[in-house]
């Protein structure tokens, strides 16, 4: 059966098909209102969420299905020390498909190995967020018609921004895409995401915005910082306001995965270039299309993962945010990237 853990699990043709289905659902919702009748979505949210969790629930209800799950791990057996693997193994017996969010990077990998139903990664720490990327791609497609030859500026927390990582991986597969990476040194994009992309780096929003077709703003994520003082120093480093927006092209679009905490002034919300609330609406429809796709043929084989990874006696991932730091008896696995760097197969951190 197919799962969605990383946006690269779906090729560009499959993504185009999902967008086409989502757009049809927007126009003709009545055609799909019973498509998942008697089907159940399990929502396992080990980390707080508003848009992602509610849009998944709304998506399944819009398809005529039902939802069960939890929105706070403290209300589940996780609070008693139960592992991700055991939780998923149990819940997959109660539902037809699972959407899971977890604060640890790489958590979906042990989950899918123990699940009897398809697993959708709804965000794993600062790693990946493929369904947000699908919503982002749908939004871009609606405004730009094509993903090729775009200049995409990404601003803010590029280090821990899982939405940024997934969007770059998705867009890098299209011809002529260039990235402008706008961040302070402390929040620069990780090397494993930079591999193979065309990019420039700057710490100036004013400089980075001028040639962009898409500006993707992000918040500095307090929950990813262990040092509160460092967060306070960096949290307001970039603010998009009316004056800065005057520097942008007339047809540039402004995106944000939300929530925002000050990095986009409310004064620009009425600018027709601002699409972040449209993104949230696209999120519901693209998740409806994804659920339909994954439930359409349970016998379809999944994509290969970790096929080139290996175990090595004595080597352990040193990332405290990796799922290997807490999951019971999870084998530490590694792979060698194109530059010869050995990385954790769960969180992609260089070892």
**b/e per residue 44-81 (b: at least 16 CB within 10 A):** bbbbebebbbebbbbbbebbebebebbbebeebebeee
The helix or strand, by DSSP H or E, that contains position 121, with its residue range, turns out to be strand 119-124
Q: Examine the domain organization and report whether 178 and 105 are in the same domain.
A: no
Calculate the average pLDDT of the chain.
92
User: Which CATH number belongs to the domain containing residue 36 in this structure?
Assistant: 3.40.50.1370
Q: Examine the domain organization and report whether 177 and 65 are in the same domain.
A: no
Question: Cβ(248)–Cβ(210) under 8 Å?
Answer: yes
Q: Examine the domain organization and report whether 226 and 238 are in the same domain.
A: yes
Q: Examine the domain organization and report whether 161 and 58 are in the same domain.
A: no
Q: Examine the domain organization and report whether 137 and 160 are in the same domain.
A: yes
Question: What phi, psi does 126 have (nearest 5°)?
Answer: -95, 25
Give tens-digit pLDDT for 280-321: 999 999 999 999 999 998 889 999 887 678 887 788 999 999
Structural domain includes residue 58: yes
Residue 225: per-residue pLDDT: 55
Q: Which residues contact 141 (CB under 8 A, 6 or more apart)?
A: 19, 147
User: 34: burial class by Cβ within 10 Å (0-12, 13-18, 19+)?
Assistant: exposed
Q: Examine the domain organization and report whether 213 and 163 are in the same domain.
A: yes
Q: How confident is the model at residue 233 (pLDDT cuts 50, 70, 90)?
A: low
Q: Examine the domain organization and report whether 168 and 257 are in the same domain.
A: yes
Q: Examine the domain organization and report whether 15 and 118 are in the same domain.
A: yes
Per DSSP, helices labelled H in 82-150 are 84-91, 108-114, 130-144
First to last CA, the chain: 32
Q: Examine the domain organization and report whether 155 and 264 are in the same domain.
A: yes
Q: Examine the domain organization and report whether 156 and 264 are in the same domain.
A: yes
In the DSSP assignment, the letter for residue 42 is: E
Question: Cβ(144)–Cβ(252) under 8 Å?
Answer: no
Sheet holding 253-255, edge to edge: 199-202, 178-182, 151-155, 214-217, 253-255
Q: Which residues contact 109 (CB under 8 A, 6 or more apart)?
A: 5, 305, 306, 323, 345, 346
- Determine the Cα angle at 100 with ends 235 and 12, to 5°: 85
Name the domain count of the chain: 3
| C-alpha–C-alpha distance, residues 177 and 168, integer Å | 10
Residue 99: per-residue pLDDT: 98
Residue 24 CB: number of other CB atoms within 10 A? 14
**Has residue 38 got a pLDDT over 80?**
yes
Q: Examine the domain organization and report whether 217 and 340 are in the same domain.
A: no
Give tens-digit pLDDT for 101-130: 999 999 999 999 999 999 999 999 989 999
Structural domain includes residue 178: yes
Q: Are strands 151-155 and 214-217 parallel, antiparallel or unpaired?
A: parallel
User: Which CATH number belongs to the domain containing residue 346 in this structure?
Assistant: 2.30.30
Give the range of the structural domain holding residue 212, as residue numbers without chain letter.
130-277
Q: Examine the domain organization and report whether 120 and 175 are in the same domain.
A: no
Q: How confident is the model at residue 227 (pLDDT cuts 50, 70, 90)?
A: low
| C-alpha–C-alpha distance, residues 126 and 18, integer Å | 25
Question: Cβ(333)–Cβ(326) under 8 Å?
Answer: no
Residue 76: per-residue pLDDT: 67
Question: Cβ(20)–Cβ(38) under 8 Å?
Answer: no
Residue 309: per-residue pLDDT: 85
Question: Cβ(288)–Cβ(36) under 8 Å?
Answer: no
What is the pTM assigned to this prediction? 0.92
Distances (CA, A) of 140 to 59, 137, 208, 256: 20, 5, 19, 12
């Amino acid at each position: 059966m197919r799962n969605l853990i990383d946006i690269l699990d779906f090729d560009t043709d499959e993504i185009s098909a999902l967008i086409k289905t989502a757009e049809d659902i927007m126009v003709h919702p009545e055609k799909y209102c019973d498509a998942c009748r008697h089907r159940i979505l399990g929502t396992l949210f080990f980390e707080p969420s508003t848009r992602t969790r509610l849009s998944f629930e709304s998506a399944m209800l819009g398809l005529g299905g039902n939802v069960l799950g939890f929105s706070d791990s403290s209300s589940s057996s996780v609070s008693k020390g139960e592992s991700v693997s055991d939780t998923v193994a149990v819940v997959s017996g109660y539902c037809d498909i699972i959407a899971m969010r977890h604060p640890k990077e790489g958590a979906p990998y042990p989950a899918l190995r123990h699940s009897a139903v398809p697993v959708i990664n709804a965000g794993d720490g600062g790693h990946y967020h493929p369904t947000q990327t699908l919503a982002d791609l749908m939004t871009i497609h609606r405004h730009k018609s094509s993903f090729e030859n775009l200049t995409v500026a990404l601003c803010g927390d590029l280090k821990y921004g899982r939405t940024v990582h997934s969007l770059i991986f998705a867009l890098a597969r299209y011809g002529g895409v260039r990235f402008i990476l706008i961040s302070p040194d402390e929040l620069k994009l990780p090397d494993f995401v930079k591999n193979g992309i065309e990019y420039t780096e700057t710490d100036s929003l004013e400089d980075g915005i001028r040639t962009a077709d898409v500006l993707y703003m992000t918040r500095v994520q307090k929950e990813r910082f262990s040092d509160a003082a460092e967060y306070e120093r960096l949290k307001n480093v970039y603010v998009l306001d009316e004056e800065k927006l005057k520097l942008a092209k007339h047809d540039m679009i402004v995106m944000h995965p939300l929530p925002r905490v000050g990095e986009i002034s409310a004064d620009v919300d009425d600018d027709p270039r601002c699409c972040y609330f449209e993104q949230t609406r696209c999120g519901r429809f693209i998740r409806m299309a994804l659920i339909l796709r994954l439930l359409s043929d349970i016998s379809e084989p999944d994509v290969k993962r970790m096929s080139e990874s290996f175990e090595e006696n004595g080597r352990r991932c040193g990332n405290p945010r990796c799922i290997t730091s807490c999951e019971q008896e999870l084998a530490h696995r590694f792979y060698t990237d194109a530059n010869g760097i050995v990385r954790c197969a769960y969180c992609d951190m260089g070892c």
